[in-house]
Structure 1
Amino acid sequence: MAEYFVFDIAESLLRKLASFVCEEASRVYDVYEDIIGIKDTLSIVKGVLLDAEHKKEQRHGLREWLRQIQNVCLDAEDVLDGLECQNLRKQVLKASGSTRMKVDHLFSSSNSLVFRFRMAHQIKHVRRRFDKIAADGNKFGLERIEVDHRLVQRRDMSYSHVDASGVIGRESDREEIIKLLMQPHPHGDGYGDQSVCVVPIVGIGGLGKTTLAKLVFNDKRIDDLFPLKMWVCISDDFDIRQIIIKIINSASASAPSIALAHQENINRLDIEQLQSRLRLKLSGQKYLLVLDDIWNDDRAKWIELKDLIKVGAVGSKIVVTTRSNSIASMVGTVPSYVLEGLSMENCFSLFVKWAFKEGEGKNYPYLLEIGKEIVKKCRGVPLAVRSLGSSLFLIVDLERWEFVRYHEIWKIKQNKDDILPALKLSYDQMPSYLRHIFAFFSLYPKDYGFSSAEIVILWESLGLLQSPVGNRKLENIARQYIDELQARSLLEDFEDFGHYYYFKVHDLVHDLALYVAKEELLMVNSLTRYIPEQIRHFSVVDNDSLNHVLFPKSSSVRTILFPLKGTGIDSETLLHTWITRYKYLRYLDLSDSSFETLPNSVAKLEHLRTLFLNNCKIKRFPHSLCKLHNLKFLSFRGCMELETLPKRLGMLVSLRKLYITTKQSVLPEDEFASLRNLHTLSFEYCANLKFLFRREQLTFLEVLIVQSCGSLQLLPLHNLPKLEVLFVSRCEMLNLNCEIPIHRLRMKFLHLEHCPKLHTLPQWIQESVDTLRTLLILNCDTLKMFPKWLTTMTRLKMLHIINCPKLLCLPSEMQGLTALDDLTIEGCPELCRKCEPQNGEYWSFIAHIKRVSIGETRKGKLLFRMLQQMRLRLRDQ
């Protein structure tokens, strides 16, 4: 049964009703009393919402009542946002001083007289709906329950793909799989069909098949046995072309310095070119290929793939993980390895590990007894055990533990191997705001790699980032939410690189998101035949679905996105329909679409917060684009045909993040200076751009990204006094040794990649001695030495040095980096030799650092994978 997110939505609406903008506007438009009436009624209703949510499973009428509250709250939010739009419009008019704009405004539907009448009518209607709902709620006899904003404490998580020390009860399984991989082909090693052996690992969801495969894949013995290792996640879609691309990219990752070039190019190859490239990669190589999470039962497709990859050397092996015994039998050349559930003893050890701090469980014997009964209900499935243990972490309240033990959801009729009830219990224990943002994972396909930027922008655009205490940066609130989900074991493959991070969600966790979100969120694919009218957020993951799906006729849609590369729209008619129909859109992602013009009617989307047009063929933007005064995020990265930026860009007064690709060589600096809320600015693939902001100071900018801007010569760091994050990559002409004195930098994160003029670190970095926390240096072939002042960076926590072959030494005072707890040095042969653990001459310099990776390619690959994910939405070069 789908969930509602009424409490979180009601809280958000109350904050909006109490805002200064709303109060002032309500007085101007003579609706102040109605606004106060709505706020008072909603405050009373909110007090009993938690009790209603707890009892909704037993009383059908409560579910309908909650649905009505949610709908009226969202409709009220649309109306109040209209007040804010009008307020912004007046500010822009006043600041512009343009007579023509004021005349246009006079004859528009947004002038004060027309707007006053319309707004008064809408707000009075909303108030009547709230009054009726409040009266209807009296018959349910609900009690007032206070919200608990307690946060889950974050664990100290490892960056590695799988932390072997954190896996319980799988040691013997790992040894058995490795033994199988070390054995010769059962039918005799040879060529053709005999050249590759397929080992299937089969078991139910959440049992740990992928974790076991990772344990094997990262074992040192496997490195010695297979010179080439590749990992490919298949999941739901067995698309031969995409699988070939993934295998090639995984094989290329063994040589990270060239991996990105392959990643950017091969997507444009046809299938004949791809299979030729694949066979070239594998031919004569003794390889291990892991195909994770296969669902395809079409034997013809499997044989087609196998025929392409059976060109390896004698002894090559394939490991397949699947939930299906029949699929395992179809693909396996040896008997399937059937993964069993963990023993009760191991399950309980895992539960205690996640429910208590180390060694503290023994202090609560009465909770341990309850824990044993909870663990029995998890059926030996590690994901369920871990999730429930995490949900009770640091909670010693007997009532909360009893709630989990006796919850009604355990009584629901289940299939033999169903663990959804255990995961749903973990979900039910989340605070309301966390349940709400979790549901939006359902808009993305399984095995989707989330980067921090995209998911945070979605949440922020929809107003889901609210701090329970104090006034904090939205980016920090988002990170807090992510940390909470991670602490509850709902995220996996979490990689933290300081300012940005990357993660996935387990397939079963994705199933849970689909389960709870189906009333209002929908992922549209080729199997979708109808979209219900109540859907407010939808994504499109298959181009074919655009040809036949009946999109909602209601105006309530707030989100449209295309999460997968290459799945944009090609119909300007459909785009015009969406713009005309969905006037309350907050988030519109049209990336990879093939239309060449954006209609002037885009200005009607006055509520729009995010507009993504990445990799489109647009040459010019309509001037009306700059009427979107509520727009916070605008991206046209990879629009290689764009000749010029929108005129009057400075009218986008709410803009926080702007991602640009343009053919221009000169920028309108005064327009950028008008963007007083701009937090992040990115220039990518701006081939003609030579200079940035030589005259204007952008005193508000915190993040600057410059990538693949081949003509760029200088960075205006002296004009960016609040800059905290700098990302520089593939700017061949850029001189990082700025001649203009720079003082009082507050940089926290610095990423330097492919900087051919870099021989040592620029002097200006030293100005961030009290703030710099992350320093990533990649593929700098000319870098020869570090300055001595590097060891004065006492706040530096993460230092990654990857593929800098001429770098031969480290400063002798590395012990001065007292905060450094993560050091990676890879692709630097001589330096890696000197830093070899125990024996290297530099080992004593770095032995005090908590996490050290020297000469291992795995960590470097993870970083490159993250960077690839960030770039995948750019047009292939």
Structure 2
Amino acid sequence: MAGVLFNIAQGILGNLSPLAFKEINQLWGFKDELKKLKGTVFTIQAVLLDAEEQQVGSHAVRNWLEKLEDAMYDADDLLDDFSIEALRREIMTRDKTAKEVCIFFSKSNQLLYALKMGHKIKVIRKRLDAINADAMNFNLKLRTKETPVMNKKRDNTHSFVQAEAIIGRECDKKAVISHLMDSSVKENVSILPIVGIGGLGKTTLAQLIFTSKEIEKHFELKMWVCVSDNFDVKIIVEKILESATNKKTKKLAMNTLVKELRKNIDEKKFLLVLDDVWSEDINQWLKLKELLMGGARGSKILVTTRSEKVANITHTIKPHLLSGLNEPASWFLFKQTAFEKGQEPKNSIIVESGREIVKKCAGVPLAIRTMGSLLYSKTSETEWLTFKNNELPKITQKENDILPTLKLSYDYLPSHLKYCFAFCSLFPKDYKIDISTLIKLWIAHGFVKSSDDQNQCLEDVGNEYFMDLLLRSFFQEAKMDEFGNVIECKMHDLMHDLATSVAGSWITTLDDKKRNIDEKARHVSVAYGINISRGVPTLLCKANRMRTFLCFGLSVEDNIDCDSTFSSSKFLRVLDLHHDFTVYSTFDSLPNLSSIGKLKHLRYLDLSGNKIMKKLPDSITNLQNLQTLRLSNYIVVAVVYKN
């Protein structure tokens, strides 16, 4: 949380830079109040890094940070209002007639605005002063600079490729392939689970097997489906069909889907991978299993799961238990990520420290890789000993739980990367994140700061942020274009859990399990298949400080009135109402957006998937801060960044 607040504080101080300060003061004259506000924010920012460390063991510090979070967001919104108003004055002066400008800038009009905003500045400044005074109770230390981290550049641009894919899993690969190719089984369709704790590499092992030459030759049809938390039989059948046909399925009734499924898989010798199964509901599993039993003799279903109960429910072949890497394999993987070119250093103290750190990772590849990436920048004996003696003991590792290890790597991130990473908890698990879109979302929220290099645009800086997180193993399964640029990635489930944990109440995702929004939520997303026209608009009215609304594919039944739903969300920076071609068919109608021009903070608007090119409301021209407007799934119609 403090990492997030540190970033907000930087944004506020940026809005109170000498140039912005001068402009606001010339227009309305809030010199004294703005100076006091700037001083308070600067003082608070100086203790945030220490507060982040203390909140782990102090409920009082955690509550203080929660109060501060609300106030800082409000201060940021208020200063953004000033910037918008200043820009509006500039535009009106330039584009309107003299009469209109005269009316708009009349003394009474400006006096009213100055009085109202002056009062708001005073209120928020006093509120922050009171919170700042409370900080004295916690003896927080002043730390105006973050601990330098990861300033050493990797010379291997492809070092983010999952090294554990070829380390220590050859025996597991051979054993599973042997079972899958066994023709002596009695059932037409047999089921083999791979079971193990999170981060062991179950999905990576399954991918190795799925793409092997032996498997390619042995099966007539191969299909891969990510199941994850939501075990919905209809959705899984849709995904199986998409994988079998390489075509996106239309929204069909269940009986039609079943006919299509049987037409495509019955009498064929297939391999189906059901990746990351969580549901322990045997009835749901039996419903799905019944639909898959028409395959030719020798067909196999490979299930990956963390749950032994799931393995016991699903298996017809004895489950393959995946254990941690042995000591030599663990050390080899650690070397690949912690040392330049994977070369073990000559310094015996560093090697000894490294081996003790590896032991803490308990053979879990994700933990080993993450810790190695964290330590890559450390080259001196002192740095390694300090980390081993001071930081490593802070990990209170529980059996089968590597989140504390991953949390340590998060703690070492610079504040701007903490913010960017936590924001990614808005995406569903197993979601293929488009990097270009992700960077535009970061920019829309001001997470990406201009660099000293005048030739470097914000998108280039944002891409550096992403690559930094990728190299630290916060993302995985990177997909590159023909030029070697990363265009797509995923987050490991455990990394997603970590992002959700550190985001706290300021991010909310609505899905089948969660149908409530915290009033403090600033960023909200709606998962696949949730009909947002039923109940969601009422919930959104509670989150009237919301800055982000992401919808991952509107359904056919959705008929959302944006005017009423988002009327109270006047601080929205990002509004995504796209219809997802990959999930549903295209739409002829556009949700009611007649008053969208009132969302003056809006930077990112996605209306793709709708046939709306000639139906945009006139008020959209009032969105003077709009940076990105998407009107098709493949074209960004306008991208304008105002620095």
Establish whether TM, by shorter chain, passes 0.5: yes
Deviation at 1:630, TM superposition (A): 1.2
Taking structure 1 as reference, are residues 491 and 534 closer, same or farther at Cα in structure 2, changes over 3 Å only? same
- Aligned equivalent of 1:245: 238
Deviation at 1:183, TM superposition (A): 1.2
Q: Check conservation: 1:159, 1:495, Cα contact below 8 A.
A: no
What are the superposed Cα offsets for residues 218-265 of structure 1, whole Å, 9 maximum, x if unpaired?
222222222322221111112223222322222334xxxxxxxx32xx
Q: Distance in 2 between matches of 1:224 and 1:597?
A: 49
Taking structure 1 as reference, are residues 500 and 113 closer, same or farther at Cα in structure 2, changes over 3 Å only? farther
Q: Distance in 2 between matches of 1:517 and 1:597?
A: 30
Taking structure 1 as reference, are residues 367 and 421 closer, same or farther at Cα in structure 2, changes over 3 Å only? same
Taking structure 1 as reference, are residues 232 and 658 closer, same or farther at Cα in structure 2, changes over 3 Å only? closer
Deviation at 1:431, TM superposition (A): 0.8
- Aligned equivalent of 2:582: none
Q: Distance in 1 between matches of 2:39 and 2:56?
A: 28
Q: Check conservation: 2:84, 2:625, Cα contact below 8 A.
A: yes
1:371 to 354, 371, 383: 354
How many percent identity over aligned positions?
36
Bigger helix share: 2
2:291 to 308, 311, 319: 308
What are the superposed Cα offsets for residues 362-416 of structure 1, whole Å, 9 maximum, x if unpaired?
2232122122222222222111111111111121255654554356786676652
> What letter corresponds to residue 464 of structure 1 in structure 2?
F
Taking structure 1 as reference, are residues 159 and 284 closer, same or farther at Cα in structure 2, changes over 3 Å only? farther
Q: Distance in 2 between matches of 1:380 and 1:75?
A: 45
Counterparts of 1:729-740 in structure 2 under 5 Å?
A: none
Q: Distance in 1 between matches of 2:460 and 2:222?
A: 37
3-state SS in 2 of match to 1:267: coil
1:39 is aligned to 2:33: no
Q: Distance in 2 between matches of 1:133 and 1:238?
A: 45
3-state SS in 2 of match to 1:244: helix
1:612 is aligned to 2:606: yes
3-state SS in 1 of match to 2:64: helix
Structure 1 range deviating more: 479-488 or 495-504: 495-504
1:349 to 332, 353, 363: 332
> What letter corresponds to residue 290 of structure 2 in structure 1?
D
2:493 to 495, 498, 507: 507
In angstroms, what is the RMSD of aligned CA positions? 3.1
Deviation at 1:38, TM superposition (A): 2.2
1:196 is aligned to 2:184: no
- Aligned equivalent of 1:10: 9
- Aligned equivalent of 2:584: none
Q: Distance in 2 between matches of 1:298 and 1:134?
A: 50
> What letter corresponds to residue 515 of structure 1 in structure 2?
S
Q: Distance in 2 between matches of 1:104 and 1:338?
A: 76
Counterparts of 1:745-756 in structure 2 under 5 Å?
A: none
Structure 1 range deviating more: 310-319 or 394-403: 394-403
Q: Check conservation: 2:3, 2:415, Cα contact below 8 A.
A: no
1:425 is aligned to 2:423: no
Q: Check conservation: 1:384, 1:419, Cα contact below 8 A.
A: yes
- Aligned equivalent of 2:65: 66
Q: Distance in 2 between matches of 1:387 and 1:127?
A: 41
Deviation at 1:551, TM superposition (A): 3.9
- Aligned equivalent of 1:77: 76
Q: Check conservation: 1:154, 1:484, Cα contact below 8 A.
A: no
- Aligned equivalent of 2:93: 94
Deviation at 1:104, TM superposition (A): 8.2
What are the superposed Cα offsets for residues 551-594 of structure 1, whole Å, 9 maximum, x if unpaired?
4636322111112453885242xx33443212111111122399
Flag structure 2 segments of 5+ consecutive residues without an equivalent: 580-586
Greater Rg, structure 1 or structure 2?
1
Q: Check conservation: 2:578, 2:606, Cα contact below 8 A.
A: yes
3-state SS in 2 of match to 1:198: strand
Q: Distance in 2 between matches of 1:148 and 1:412?
A: 19
> What letter corresponds to residue 584 of structure 1 in structure 2?
F
Q: Check conservation: 1:174, 1:215, Cα contact below 8 A.
A: yes
> What letter corresponds to residue 243 of structure 1 in structure 2?
I
Q: Distance in 2 between matches of 1:227 and 1:3?
A: 53
- Aligned equivalent of 2:112: 114
- Aligned equivalent of 1:205: 198
Deviation at 1:512, TM superposition (A): 0.7
1:556 is aligned to 2:545: yes
- Aligned equivalent of 2:458: 474
Deviation at 1:454, TM superposition (A): 2.2
Deviation at 1:206, TM superposition (A): 0.8
1:602 to 596, 601, 606: 596
Taking structure 1 as reference, are residues 369 and 159 closer, same or farther at Cα in structure 2, changes over 3 Å only? closer
- Aligned equivalent of 1:268: 251
Q: Distance in 1 between matches of 2:467 and 2:110?
A: 45
3-state SS in 2 of match to 1:65: helix
1:540 is aligned to 2:526: yes
2:273 to 281, 284, 290: 290
Taking structure 1 as reference, are residues 336 and 447 closer, same or farther at Cα in structure 2, changes over 3 Å only? same
3-state SS in 2 of match to 1:543: coil
Taking structure 1 as reference, are residues 356 and 414 closer, same or farther at Cα in structure 2, changes over 3 Å only? closer
1:625 is aligned to 2:620: yes
1:492 is aligned to 2:481: no
Structure 1 range deviating more: 377-386 or 577-586: 577-586
Structure 1 range deviating more: 6-15 or 353-362: 353-362
Taking structure 1 as reference, are residues 204 and 219 closer, same or farther at Cα in structure 2, changes over 3 Å only? same
1:337 to 297, 320, 325: 320
> What letter corresponds to residue 201 of structure 1 in structure 2?
I
Q: Check conservation: 2:163, 2:333, Cα contact below 8 A.
A: no
> What letter corresponds to residue 519 of structure 2 in structure 1?
E
Q: Distance in 1 between matches of 2:260 and 2:359?
A: 50
Deviation at 1:92, TM superposition (A): 2.3
Q: Check conservation: 2:350, 2:385, Cα contact below 8 A.
A: no
- Say which structure, 1 or 2, has more relative contact order (CA 8 Å, 6+ apart): 2
* Number of equivalences: 626
- Aligned equivalent of 1:587: 574
> What letter corresponds to residue 31 of structure 1 in structure 2?
F
Deviation at 1:449, TM superposition (A): 0.8
- Aligned equivalent of 1:697: none
Q: Distance in 2 between matches of 1:155 and 1:244?
A: 44
3-state SS in 1 of match to 2:316: coil
> What letter corresponds to residue 296 of structure 1 in structure 2?
S
Q: Check conservation: 1:48, 1:144, Cα contact below 8 A.
A: yes
Q: Distance in 2 between matches of 1:399 and 1:160?
A: 27
Q: Check conservation: 2:531, 2:555, Cα contact below 8 A.
A: no
- Aligned equivalent of 1:55: 54
Q: Distance in 2 between matches of 1:345 and 1:305?
A: 41
Q: Check conservation: 1:634, 1:658, Cα contact below 8 A.
A: no
Deviation at 1:196, TM superposition (A): 1.6
Deviation at 1:462, TM superposition (A): 1.0
Q: Check conservation: 1:231, 1:289, Cα contact below 8 A.
A: yes
1:123 to 118, 121, 128: 121
3-state SS in 1 of match to 2:340: coil
Q: Distance in 1 between matches of 2:486 and 2:359?
A: 39
3-state SS in 2 of match to 1:580: coil
> What letter corresponds to residue 112 of structure 2 in structure 1?
V
Counterparts of 1:508-523 in structure 2 under 5 Å?
A: 508-523=494-509
3-state SS in 2 of match to 1:80: helix
Q: Check conservation: 1:559, 1:588, Cα contact below 8 A.
A: yes
Flag structure 1 segments of 5+ consecutive residues without an equivalent: 188-193, 254-261, 639-656, 661-674, 680-877
Q: Distance in 2 between matches of 1:384 and 1:637?
A: 40
Q: Distance in 2 between matches of 1:546 and 1:108?
A: 44
Taking structure 1 as reference, are residues 67 and 594 closer, same or farther at Cα in structure 2, changes over 3 Å only? farther
> What letter corresponds to residue 242 of structure 1 in structure 2?
I
> What letter corresponds to residue 23 of structure 1 in structure 2?
K
| TM-score normalised by structure 2 residue count | 0.89
3-state SS in 1 of match to 2:505: coil
